[in-house]
Amino acid sequence: MDSVHEQSIGDLMENLVKGFVKEKLEFIMREEIEHFLNVEYEGRRPSRNGYYGRSLQTRYGEIEDLQVPRDRKDAFQTQLFEPYQRREGWLEEAVIHMYKGGMSTRDVAKFIEGMFGTEYSPTTISNITKTVLEDVEEWQQRPLEKRYSVIYLDGIYIKLKRTTVDSEVVYLAMGINEDGYRQILGFYVGGKESANGWKDVLKDLYNRGVHEVLLGVFDGLPGLEEAFREIYSKADVQHCVVHKVRSTFPKIRVGDKTEFLSDLKTVYTAPDKDLAVAAFDTVKDKWGKKYSKEIQSWEGQLSTLLTFYKYPKLIRHAIYTSNAIERTNKELRKRFRPMNSLTNMDAAEKIIYLEVTAYNEKWSTRVIRGFGDEETKAGLQRMYEERYPAVSETLDKE
């Protein structure tokens, strides 16, 4: 009896809340049409055309037989909801957030059905999340700032289903702007990672307004440095030191790993470039015979591995490696891990868009450590002025 009694009280409270919400919604709409008729018809007061009934799914439950007023010309439209909307926008937002959180469209459909007792198919949920695609297109075409002190480039692979399931790359570009704020500039899905693919990415950034760049940070993918320099010929290149260490690590014998890597660390942690070069010479003398190929590989890239020494000391920690963008990619991998494969390109773009816009919002008010320092800002400003004079010929990058 107690449980039945509690249920009846619960039902009563729910009905009272829904009745209260219905009453307030109808009151607001009556005020809306009153204002509309006075403004639209300048007080001539044409007669109304009664009401029409409809239902609306709200966070408080389904409001049935909601009385919506109308005028003779059917010109009035309430601002509370769209003409054919049957749910408040909060439900669509909830669906998108659940989808972003890793739930499949099928799981979201079951959850919504459990809440409202109404059937929401995976197709319906997919249709709701399709609204994100409009935002994706707008976001991908948005204008970018003219100056970025640093641009990071990195790619990850995801499983994507077309005719068959295969791994395809997500190209990701991140920038730190003139004021020291970090943001994802763009993402591009499809194919296998290549220098030509990156060149298209860089062309897109340029065409959207990114014309003055000081430094590009990325790994040693063959052809990428040349592609970057073709678009941003006045920018420096910093090959990621961490990537280089990782690629060297498996080639060193187990017994030598600790000592070799410790010696190597003295190169990229030296106080200045001269001492870094001297430290490398010491490493070369010690290990050059035993690991000749590895040492030659480092020597061949040493100039671009040590580029960060040209930049103000307080930001070197942020630019000698592409760790910043790799952390973002790690979050994307975590998001994709529960999925064996994505059904199509749209599904991939929706998920990535929601992740990167959340990232940009999180970092929109945080200046990256070191970039807010006045001496650092002055140093970077001098670099901009030296490389990009106020009056200069704009090269056509298309």
User: CB within 8 A of 162, min separation 6: which ones?
Assistant: 344
**Is residue 396 in some structural domain?**
no
pLDDT category, 10, cuts 50, 70, 90? Answer: low
Do 30 and 156 belong together in one domain?
no
Name the domain boundary from 50, 85, 120. 85
* Domain encompassing residue 214: 142-387
Do 151 and 12 belong together in one domain?
no
Do 223 and 97 belong together in one domain?
no
Question: Look-up: residue for tokens 């619960």?
Answer: 10
End-to-end CA distance of the chain: 77
**Is residue 66 in some structural domain?**
yes
Give the DSSP letter of residue 377.
H
Mean pLDDT of the chain: 83
Tokens at 72, concatenated: 């003779």
Do 36 and 183 belong together in one domain?
no
Do 275 and 322 belong together in one domain?
yes
pLDDT category, 87, cuts 50, 70, 90? Answer: very low
pLDDT, residue 86, reads: 47
Do 81 and 217 belong together in one domain?
no
Tokens at 242, concatenated: 């961490």
- In angstroms, the CA 174 to CA 171 distance is 10
- In angstroms, the CA 33 to CA 26 distance is 11
- In angstroms, the CA 319 to CA 182 distance is 12
- In angstroms, the CA 231 to CA 294 distance is 30
**Is residue 36 in some structural domain?**
yes
C-alpha separations of 73 from 36, 40, 79, 80 in Å: 12, 11, 17, 20
**Is residue 394 in some structural domain?**
no
Name the domain boundary from 105, 129, 153. 129
Do 242 and 322 belong together in one domain?
yes
Cβ-based neighbour number of residue 319 at 10 Å: 25
E strand residue ranges, the chain: 48-58, 61-71, 147-161, 165-177, 182-189, 212-218, 236-239
User: CB within 8 A of 395, min separation 6: which ones?
Assistant: 233
Give the DSSP letter of residue 368.
P
73-77, 145-149, 306-310, 369-373: least confidently modelled range: 73-77
Q: What values do phi and psi take at 22, rounded to 5?
A: -60, -45
User: For the segment 115-147, what is each residue's pLDDT rounded down to a tens digit?
Assistant: 555 556 666 666 666 667 778 888 999 999 999
- In angstroms, the CA 72 to CA 37 distance is 11
Is pLDDT of 296 > 60?
yes
Judge whether 30 and 24 are in contact, CB under 8 Å: no
Do 43 and 162 belong together in one domain?
no
**Is residue 134 in some structural domain?**
no
User: CB within 8 A of 296, min separation 6: which ones?
Assistant: none
- In angstroms, the CA 222 to CA 231 distance is 16
**Is residue 8 in some structural domain?**
yes
Do 123 and 148 belong together in one domain?
no
**Is residue 10 in some structural domain?**
yes
Do 164 and 292 belong together in one domain?
yes
pLDDT category, 72, cuts 50, 70, 90? Answer: confident
- The whole-model pTM stands at 0.71
Domain count, the chain: 3
Question: Look-up: residue for tokens 């055309």?
Answer: 49
- In angstroms, the CA 389 to CA 307 distance is 22
Do 74 and 93 belong together in one domain?
no
- In angstroms, the CA 146 to CA 138 distance is 19
Which one has a higher pLDDT value, 148 or 86? 148
Beta bridge partners of 148: 177, 213
Which one has a higher pLDDT value, 41 or 191? 191
**Is residue 135 in some structural domain?**
no
Do 77 and 49 belong together in one domain?
yes
